[in-house]
Structure 1
Amino acid sequence: MTRGMNRRGFLAVAGATAAGAALATTVQGTARAAAGAFRVPAEDVRHTRTWMAWPDSTAIWAGKLGGVQADIALIARTIATYEPVVMCANSGSAATARSMCGPSVTVLSSIPVDDCWMRDTGPVFRTDGYGGLDAVGLNFNGWGNKQTHARDALVAERIAAWTGVPFGYADLVGEGGAVEQDGAGTLMATRSSLVNRNRNPGMSESQITTAMCDAYGASKVIWFDGVVGQDITDDHVDATSRFLAPGEALVQMPLATDTDAFSRDARRQYGVLSASTTATGRAIDAMQLQGPDYNKIRSTNRNFLASYANYYLCNGAVISAHFGDTQADAAARATLARLYPDRVIEQLNIDRLGTGGGGIHCVTQQQPVA
């Protein structure tokens, strides 16, 4: 595989703005104080709604904005057939968002955004098992100050305020796509994203592990090395490895002939997971999801992300993607249908979004039922 080497790479040229530093210090430690009772649940629990964000920056999406907006609208309309969707949009583009998304999607113009990556900018919701709900912000800093993010840095707190739930900031800088949780005490993440001085300078892996566990209500992190500096996220875990349930995980595998950095990393992730245990000591059953042949997909963009693993679970459905490798697309659909037999499998063409190095999971954030 020669393409896909710089996922979301073109986004970095949009410039970087440090934002939210003062805000991040106002309620540090709130997440830790509640960690004994609250936990980020697994993503397959019932949702109250899905949160998304409407892109409108021609600086970030030069020559690509219309197509990306069409893909975002398609994802929102599809999810809205299964559960409510709330789209955050800037006031100047809210009318366009409403027109393209249709009446089934609620568009809010009171929470401004810089871009569409709600998985990374939105709040991480937690439940306590007794009807309680709160939210944690991960101090989004534009993936290490690689992109302007003055508005995106405030999205998590503003959504929490809109929902009326208690909110606190985690004691680390990161993104939702950088962390996978099983809902039962185990997390997984890449060192390349989080143990990185562009997010957490001066913090050791042990300190970051503690901060992650405090924020997510977990007790163990499975670390992968990841890939540094070849995409704007520094290799988010949710493009490769996902939890299915406590003790069960899924890894998207490359072709045997693929030798690029991300393919090597995927094989290492599978090896690490296969030898790992959960927080309770249960051996992890690591399953494989075959990725497509980049020579057979529709896109010829070098930054394209063809990740079946970057699917989103909503009430009653799995929202995934297809890329034009018909054999691999069909096999991925069959695998997801086997893993989620009680859900409808929706496969969407999101090729325009994929040129930005992201997928369906990257642009969605679930709010679980308390």
Structure 2
Amino acid sequence: MKSLTTTPKADGFRMPAEFEPHERTWMIWPQRRDTFRYGAKLAQKQFLQFARAISEFEPVTIGVSDEQYEVAYRAAGDFAQIVELSNDDFWIRDTGATFVTNGKELRGVDWSFNAWGGLVDGLYFPWDKDDRVASKMCNMVGCDRYRLDDFILEGGSIHVDGEGTLVVTECCLLSEGRNASFGEYEAFSDELKQHIENTLKEYLNVEKVIWMKEGIYEDETNGHVDNIFNFTAPGECVLAWTDDPEDPQYAISHDCYETLSNATDAKGRKLKIRKLHIPDPILLTQEEHDGMDDVCEFWPPAVGSRLPASYVNFYTCNGGVVFPLFDDEKYDAEAEAVLKEAFPDRKVVGVPCHEMFLGGGNIHCATQQQPAV
């Protein structure tokens, strides 16, 4: 593995959309006692359901810490590749490599990671093992990497259409604890915004960046785009939605809808937007809170806190879509119907996610794209 000093754009590499062909999916075994309750045992059972569902469509590699290797191998070794991969937490969509391709060769972008805000509002410390995950993935895959030591980004904060368009949120990328923490730019400033946009255009090889203001209400990642928006095809997308004007998410989603409706993508197309209604509010119970280790002021959330539930945090596989179920009969069924309409040629599979969701997220995967031959 070589560390390259050029950029993907200069070398003719681009980030494909999640709906483009994959070689495999990467996941990390959950085990943190403060992220998940009761030693993560309940979360591990649901993780296995997600991993097995994805494995029906494409190969799955699960990275595991040394102390949990035998546990994961016995649980998933029959349907997934198990590799030792030291980590601080299991959010591999955020910590893993962003793969880019020129159609023949695969390379990885290795962003800096600081646990969603570093010492300003990050969710844990230290995060050095997580910051090495992308590099180790590239080494295992056998591809070269572009390393950015001075630019912080998580994979869940970007979505591309594979044809030159990128969608992000201001609340996340311009936040104080990420690239503003380097001291050169002020948080939420125009200068920081331009710096970030220029960097993303170079390293993802996109031409158009659409900035939405906010993400899902009370999302502890500062509003990752992957929980409120996703591309389903070139020129088509889904947006997290609510029809309840009393819900704090209502104004956020309406503002995002306005932004997307008035935008054109890199090809000059108006976006076709499908609304994906969020489930009824899910609040953290006393029992659930008591099952998590208390490690910092930001985590776990207080009892009664609203958790950032959204069906938009689905995963697009080769021939399939795996999406979270929230034990909400009405909106689980509605989400399935919308996704089947958006992906008519893929099998749509719902998996219960409550225990995973208590840890702050649903399906967390890193996509290893398949270069065309």
TM-score normalised to structure 1 length: 0.86
Q: How does 1:175-324 map to 2 (within 5 A)?
A: 175-201=154-180, 202-203=184-185, 204-226=192-214, 230-260=218-248, 262-294=249-281, 302-324=305-327
Shift of 1:297: 12
Distance change (3 Å), C-alpha of 1:289 and 1:118: same
Supply the AA of the counterpart residue of 2:137. I
Shift of 1:92: 0.7
Contact 1:178-1:236 at 8 Å conserved across structures: yes
Contact 1:87-1:108 at 8 Å conserved across structures: yes
Distance change (3 Å), C-alpha of 1:306 and 1:232: closer
**How far apart, in 2, do the equivalents of 1:258 and 1:96 lie?**
45
Distance change (3 Å), C-alpha of 1:282 and 1:227: closer
Distance change (3 Å), C-alpha of 1:239 and 1:64: farther
**Which of these residues, 345, 352, 355, is aligned with residue 349 of structure 1?**
352
Q: How does 1:1-370 map to 2 (within 5 A)?
A: 29-30=5-6, 32=7, 34-63=9-38, 65-109=40-84, 111-129=85-103, 131-145=104-118, 146=122, 147-148=124-125, 149-170=127-148, 172-201=151-180, 202-203=184-185, 204-226=192-214, 230-260=218-248, 262-294=249-281, 302-360=305-363, 363-370=364-371
Shift of 1:249: 1.6
Shift of 1:263: 3.7
SS of the residue corresponding to residue 266 of structure 1 reads helix
Shift of 1:82: 1.4
Q: Who is 1:21 aligned against?
A: none
SS of the residue corresponding to residue 211 of structure 2 reads strand
TM-score normalised to structure 2 length: 0.85
Q: Deviations over 1:96-143 (max 9, x none)?
A: 11222241011101x2111111100000001112x1111101211111
SS of the residue corresponding to residue 334 of structure 2 reads helix
SS of the residue corresponding to residue 86 of structure 2 reads coil
**How far apart, in 2, do the equivalents of 1:71 and 1:33 lie?**
36
SS of the residue corresponding to residue 65 of structure 1 reads helix
Q: Who is 1:15 aligned against?
A: none
**How far apart, in 2, do the equivalents of 1:325 and 1:162 lie?**
40
Distance change (3 Å), C-alpha of 1:276 and 1:241: same
**Unmatched 5+ residue regions in structure 1?**
1-25
Contact 1:255-1:293 at 8 Å conserved across structures: no
SS of the residue corresponding to residue 142 of structure 1 reads coil
Aligned pair count? 339
**How far apart, in 2, do the equivalents of 1:64 and 1:304 lie?**
20
**Unmatched 5+ residue regions in structure 2?**
186-191, 289-302
